[in-house]
Structure 1
């Protein structure tokens, strides 16, 4: 057991060293001191946009620094506890220390992945659009299952989820849904989920209990703030209003309060129906449209860079990224990274970190060394 404790502690120490290098530790501490000093300037909020940008930068850096310090502190405390348990021959406490270090090692691994989220929009909140494919009720139910999956993933990671748009299926499930996931690095993590998701199962809607294959698409784009200027010519945008079909009581079904905006040059369309006021839905839809156009620009940049490196990964509509097989066997497999698991229920309940982590590592070109930690590419 002592060997297990020492091995886990060594892995954590290696992760901490990597995190310190990625943060450029000493300059990062000086930068944090500078940001803290500027945050105390009473005139800072005379310029709200500058103040918000500074506070975001400070929060991100402070979170990264504290994560490293917490890993170091908890590692040492647990090692001291294990040493005391060994001296007293307390096997139960030694096992407890080993379990604590294992959980700490998992946290360190996630922190390594967080350190890879260096894209300009990675720290932002995210919009997640889910659309059912061909297949009627079965595909609509699959879209509902995906909506639940991402909601549970976000909740498990301390993020909040707002449903901005929901269109019910004709019999069950959802034709489409738009979620806003709020939390640090929401976009950085969720962007790896963009693409087509395939489900194979015995359909609960088929009286003959036949196996069905269903598809649903996931599109992810960052929420952008007022500091990012996205110029949109109003003449290029078509506005449609319609009667909302989702939850919202009697009022939402009596008025054409829902708003859909279509950016004609790109064909990008967004919709919002969660507010009772058409004006509020219109404002939210414009915010979403700005975010979609911003994400499209980020994707163009990424694809251009990937083409130069001859390592382009297709993530758009029409490109299947993951297969979920529930019958005749249990398997979820990511077709980009080859990561797979037989714990299909765990995945559908939001356990997506292994898939996200592998995809994120692939995107940034990171590799694992023999010790299991991420090495600089």
Structure 2
């Protein structure tokens, strides 16, 4: 039986206070002015001749208009709550409608508040997500594939376009590594919350004695950058190899000799792409992946330097364990950064990550 939504005056006051805080962030007047500026630019002669610039301006205009419309509708709905509350005092049907409206308003407030948490220069763009099997042998490779599925399902559930770029199959099961691109608003800002080591505890399906095993999978996240001037790469620093694509990925991965692997010698970063139809297309995509990973490394080093100057320690290393998924002797998923827990581990593995991500973003912003 569903728990009735809290419609008390105190709850309505909390909603009003939350809206007032968001109003400062949204700044409807400034946003409206920016939309007018973009409209003027889009109407200028020759605007559509520069397709790259036109695409960026058009995308910004769409995001700004959507945000402004969402806020104005939300503002009107919050205003209506007080009147609805008065009418519901003597009408049970109106009480139920008020409960539904409060729940709807809260969901939209939370969604807008989530956007407020993205302040990084690349947070609102696309993300390159790489999953690597860690310690644990076949169990780790199987676990890496489970993490890949979890993250891709979460991305698809949020409406992102998901494109698997490469996947290297494990010896017996699972994957050694895989990289996909999540395209959509705030993809990088959201996926940043999943960066780190994910730990699994379960009865191993690969152990004849049915012993409990611990396996690890690492998640790396990098922003997709279209402006290649952001990162300088010397061609002499690159080792470029071609090979036949094979293994995990099924119909989504090209099975020709066109797969490309690029090694950046100074950093040791290795990227590969095998889903495009030609070797040149795979090389172009791999170079974008390399730029993204170099940019992410630069940003991480910059944050570590700032933290050091402030006398703080910043745990942003790939080796930091962020979450544990326990399937035996009980089921529990726990995020070690926020202490958020969920008993339904299968629900999380099926892509229900919103609660964990939002809790982390709120703590990081605070």
Shared fold (TM-score, shorter chain, > 0.5): yes
Instruction: Give, in whole Å, the separation in 2 of the partners of 1:179 and 1:249.
Output: 15
Distance 1:250 1:27, change over 3 A: closer
The answer to whether 1:334 aligns with 2:326 is: no
Partner of 2:107: 106
Equivalent pair of 1:124/1:223 in contact (CA under 8 Å): yes
Relative to the length of structure 1, the TM-score reads: 0.88
Equivalent pair of 2:7/2:102 in contact (CA under 8 Å): no
Deviation at 1:84, TM superposition (A): 4.5
- 1:234-267: CA deviations, max 9, x gaps? 11111111121134569944x4221111111111
Partner of 1:25: 28
Partner of 2:345: 344
- Matched position secondary structure for 1:316: coil
Deviation at 1:75, TM superposition (A): 3.2
- 1:73-129: CA deviations, max 9, x gaps? 333456555554555x2x245224313312421331231121120111001110100
Partner of 2:41: 38
Deviates more, 1:207-216 or 1:21-30: 21-30
Distance 1:71 1:61, change over 3 A: same
Unaligned runs of 5+ in 1: 367-377
Match of 2:76 among 66, 73, 84: 73
Deviation at 1:232, TM superposition (A): 0.9
Deviates more, 1:339-348 or 1:186-195: 339-348
Instruction: Give, in whole Å, the separation in 2 of the partners of 1:229 and 1:312.
Output: 27
Instruction: Give, in whole Å, the separation in 2 of the partners of 1:103 and 1:343.
Output: 24
How does 1:195-234 map onto structure 2 within 5 Å? 195-226=196-227, 228-234=229-235
The answer to whether 1:300 aligns with 2:313 is: no
- 1:271-327: CA deviations, max 9, x gaps? 111123222211111111111112222222222223334444323222211111111
Deviation at 1:158, TM superposition (A): 1.1
Equivalent pair of 1:81/1:97 in contact (CA under 8 Å): yes
Instruction: Give, in whole Å, the separation in 2 of the partners of 1:243 and 1:69.
Output: 53
Instruction: Give, in whole Å, the separation in 2 of the partners of 1:216 and 1:251.
Output: 22
Relative to the length of structure 2, the TM-score reads: 0.90
Runs of 4+ in 1 over 6 A off after TM superposition: none
Instruction: Give, in whole Å, the separation in 1 of the partners of 2:277 and 2:36.
Output: 45
The answer to whether 1:192 aligns with 2:193 is: yes
Distance 1:115 1:252, change over 3 A: closer
Instruction: Give, in whole Å, the separation in 2 of the partners of 1:55 and 1:44.
Output: 11
Instruction: Give, in whole Å, the separation in 1 of the partners of 2:261 and 2:253.
Output: 19
The answer to whether 1:10 aligns with 2:13 is: yes
Partner of 2:56: 53
Distance 1:202 1:15, change over 3 A: same
Deviates more, 1:226-235 or 1:285-294: 226-235
Partner of 2:65: 62
Equivalent pair of 1:259/1:273 in contact (CA under 8 Å): yes
How does 1:234-273 map onto structure 2 within 5 Å? 234-246=235-247, 247=249, 252-253=254-255, 255-273=256-274
Instruction: Give, in whole Å, the separation in 2 of the partners of 1:303 and 1:217.
Output: 20
Equivalent pair of 1:5/1:98 in contact (CA under 8 Å): no
Distance 1:337 1:249, change over 3 A: closer
- 1:4-30: CA deviations, max 9, x gaps? 254443333222211111233322322
Equivalent pair of 1:5/1:97 in contact (CA under 8 Å): no
Instruction: Give, in whole Å, the separation in 1 of the partners of 2:338 and 2:279.
Output: 43
Deviation at 1:42, TM superposition (A): 3.3
- Matched position secondary structure for 2:230: coil
Deviation at 1:55, TM superposition (A): 2.7
Instruction: Give, in whole Å, the separation in 2 of the partners of 1:331 and 1:346.
Output: 11
Instruction: Give, in whole Å, the separation in 1 of the partners of 2:58 and 2:252.
Output: 41
Deviates more, 1:8-17 or 1:315-324: 8-17
Unaligned runs of 5+ in 2: none
